[in-house]
Every structure is written in C-alpha cells, then in structure tokens.
Amino acid sequence: MTKDEFTAYHDSRYAKQLSFYDKRAISNQRGYRICSIWILIVSVAITPLISFNEGLCGWGNILAEILSPTIAIAAGFNAHFQFHENWLRYRATWDALQQELAYCKAGVGDYADESKRYALFVERIESVIAQEGSSWLRTHVRGDRATQPGGTV
C-alpha cells in the first residue's frame, strides 16, 4: 500500500469511523447521564414533596404522583437503549482506533516494518471495526430476544 493510498484511507474511511464512534459515545454518555441524574433527583425529591404536602397547598402529593412514574420511564429508557453499555463500547472502540494510529505513526511494535506499515494499519482498523460491529449485534440481538414474550437470553 502506497503512502497516497494510506492517506486516502485515513482521510476517508478511518476519519469517518473515528468520528462515528466519538459521536455515538458522546450521545450515549448523555443519554446515560440524563436518565441517571433524573432518577436520582426525582427519587430524592418525592419524599419531601409528600412530607411538605400541607405547605405546598396540597400540590405535593400531586407532584409526587406525576413524578414517580418518570423514574420507571427513565430506568426503562436506560435499560432499553443500553446507554451505559453503548457509551463504554463506543469509547473503547474509539480509543482502539486512536491507539492504532499512534502506533502506526510512531512505527513501533508490528508497525516497525515500514514496507507493511500501512497495510497492517488498514487490516487492524478494519478488524477493530468488525469486532465492534459483531459485539454490538450480539448484545442487541440478545437484548431483543430477552424483551420479547418467551424470549431467552
């Protein structure tokens, strides 16, 4: 593989994949944190709302009744969309892609042989992407089966 071919691969496929995993990690991290913080805040707020019902002119119980189901909804979203698992997996894949580029540029380890460096880089990047894709599919297919009636894990 020539330097120009490597540059074309790096600037197109590699850059797109790196951006994809970074954006997905960030969005899943946000989803996880939003759901987790909501669950924490509402869980803590319900008891004072009920306790201070008189001071809130009777609105404490109503607010508690409205907010209580949102805890289950947020927990359900978190579990269904697997925000935490996806965040960690996407970030790990992003890190692995970054690490391979660093090794390639430094010419260390298996990348020491300059004649094979670029081809090895492409091979390893595609391997990381394929492994992440099959891992994601296994996790989500298993999760879908478990949520269907009669589904087993």
List the domain boundaries for the chain: 3-147
Among 126, 120, 127, 128, CA closest to 103: 120
Q: Look up the pTM and report it.
A: 0.82
- Give the pLDDT score at 54: 75
Which pLDDT tens digit goes with each residue over 105-132? Answer: 999 999 999 999 999 999 999 999 999 9
Distances from the Cα of 53 to the Cα of 18, 42, 45, 47, 68, angstroms: 52, 16, 12, 10, 15
Cα(146)–Cα(152) distance, integer angstroms? 5
Sign of CA dihedral 53, 58, 59, 64: positive
